[in-house]
Amino acid sequence: MAPLSRALSGVILPYDFYGNHLDSKKECVDKELELKNFAKAGETLSEIWSEMEIDKFPVLAKYITPDESLPSLPVIDYSWHQKHVRESQYFLQIVKCDDRSCCTDFRSDVRLFLHDRFFPPPLLYKRHENDGRLLIADPLKDAKNASFFTLFKRLSIKLNCNDPTFKNLPYDYHCSTVQDILQDRICPFCGLYFASLKNVKEHRKIIHPAQRIAKKILKKTATRIIKRRNDEVLCVVDNNDAQDIEWLAIEEVINADSFLPSQESEVNTEDLPIIESIKDWLKCDWEEVN
């Protein structure tokens, strides 16, 4: 994605090429016009990317018009997901299982060193201040004085991280950007770790329905509701000192009903500058002085 994204630097895709399909609240009022504008954006991207080469190979990009007769994407099978997938913040593992009625044999010898099929969590290691023994570092206290090892060195070191907080050590245990929300991303019933709160919720609902009903749902307070869809809201919630943006069921958000569409203020367009051309808009207001 990096070369493709780099090619789009400075590119502006107008949302209203064939006309504005939004009202004053930025809500779609003309579905057909929206699809035409979207198609124009897709065709523009295709033209830009088709002029590229990546590793000396030409890029061929083509916008495909969605066919409403095609079946929609299937719903995630969380039973299959539980056996084959491990999620983390920056890494997704999809691995064959050992059930030969489900998956074919492994084509490599990966099981010789990955006995549990999945890559283990990368851990920070440090030396003891007094005797120099190798220790697993604390993810919060020792991050500056510790380092990660290569995969094979990590697999060869028989040091277990016995953190009583977790039933199964999450892959992001030493990921500094998610320390405050690790516990929220773990299924309280089986200990499986997910990369988002939404996936945890869906997993609990489908895999552990009885336990989920018995366990009181911990509701969250939203600081802002960004968008609604069916019975869910995309909201900003506080997690200790950090903020997280997640899709949550309305019943899981304490103050979801206080954010009503009617409370959204209309944008005042009277004081906004009129841009007649992209060239004028990108023109620099500063003059070079010798």
> Which two tokens mark 238?
């506080």
> Which two tokens mark 254?
């304490």
From residue 213, alpha-carbon distances to 172, 226, 250, 276 in Å are 28, 28, 16, 57
> Long-range contact list for 236-243, CB < 8 A, 24+ apart?
239/180, 239/181, 239/184, 240/180, 241/180, 242/180, 242/181
Tell me which DSSP letter residue 47 carries.
Answer: H
Instruction: Using the predicted structure, report yes or no on whether residue 266 has a pLDDT greater than 60.
Output: no
| Letter string b/e over residues 132-151, b meaning 16 or more CB atoms within 10 A of that residue's CB | eeeebbebeeeeeebeeeee
Q: Residues near 258 by Cβ (< 8 Å), separated by ≥ 6? A: none
* Helix, strand, coil share (%) of the chain residues, nearest 5: 30, 15, 55
Q: What is the pLDDT of residue 39?
A: 93
Instruction: Using the predicted structure, report yes or no on whether residue 2 has a pLDDT greater than 80.
Output: yes
- pTM confidence score: 0.54
Q: What's the pLDDT tens digit per position in 219-239?
A: 777 888 887 776 777 888 876
Q: pLDDT band at residue 265, thresholds of 50, 70 and 90?
A: very low
The pLDDT > 70 percentage for the chain reads 80
Number of H helices, E strands in the chain: 7, 10
Q: What is the pLDDT of residue 212?
A: 57
What is the pLDDT averaged over residues 262-286?
A: 55
Q: What's the pLDDT tens digit per position in 10-49?
A: 899 988 999 999 998 888 999 899 999 999 999 999 999 9
Q: What's the pLDDT tens digit per position in 82-140?
A: 999 999 998 999 999 999 999 999 999 989 989 889 999 999 999 888 888 888 888 77
Higher pLDDT pick, 47 / 256: 47
